[in-house]
A and B are shown apart, each in its own frame.
Chain A
């Protein structure tokens, strides 16, 4: 089984090296999609074995993930892991994310911050933003999971072929959940740890996600 880790990165020159080196221990290939960074993200990665794909202009995390997915599929990936470039996730948990796919228990695995493992979520994110995100997912998409906006996930080839990410911004999290249900993929949630040193998604970002999801209703 060939496992790829796709890491979308935008201006992450300070953290990307550590993230890539750690993730590389648990997968066969690391693909970093430099999403039009204006810092030295791409140059820093030359010290690693990571495959670097470069977006000539910034298109957003969802677009970067789709680029990574397609590249991985073209290069014989059986499993793709989505991992953040900012060091919020623990690379050691990649094993736990991939295991259900290796056991053929499911087609897609979503990491969840709300299934036992303790993540240090800021108060208002846990008690205001997340319940709102659940509500938005349920109203607009009709589906939600215990973690409505998690970015740590793993998919097998079937899921990769079926799910095309068309949300170029942060709304891709909800879109992937929606499409996983829509295509009747076997879904599993795995507890993960998230380390917060910054707030993450802002309130304005949340509004943008709602706007993007609504807009997609008229486009798809």
Chain B
């Protein structure tokens, strides 16, 4: 129970940060909505952990709901890291184009 309170407090902190960043126009609306929904879902999941346990058991998993959530979180994190790498690679390619154009135009 205490862990759930702590988790919810952390989620509130992140939502507060998110809203303040949006107010300062540091976030695009799309990005704001993505993270807002993300933290909201995280909060709902934490509050309903018991139901998650039942749901997980119904699907035939032997571990508890929180463990399954952790596995899902790790998978999502891997995916996000991969997306960031792809985006970084695109930026690298753009930088290369700029460097190439400078080299050719300076001749």
Contact = CB atoms under 8 A, between A and B. Distances in A.
A53 B86 contact: no
Contacts of B106: 53-54
B103 A33 contact: yes
Contacts of B85: 215
B93 interface: yes
Interface of B: 85-86, 89-90, 92-93, 95-96, 99-100, 102-104, 106-107
Interface residues of A, number: 19
Interface of A: 33, 51, 53-57, 59, 63, 66-67, 70-71, 74, 166, 168, 215, 218-219
B96 A168 contact: yes
Contacts of A74: 104
A219 B100 CA distance: 20
29 contacts: A33-B103, A51-B107, A53-B104, A53-B106, A54-B103, A54-B106, A55-B102, A55-B103, A56-B99, A56-B102, A56-B103, A57-B95, A57-B99, A59-B95, A59-B96, A59-B100, A67-B100, A67-B103, A67-B104, A71-B104, A71-B107, A166-B93, A168-B93, A168-B96, A215-B85, A215-B86, A218-B86, A219-B90, A219-B93
Contact of B100 (A51, A70, A215, A218): A70
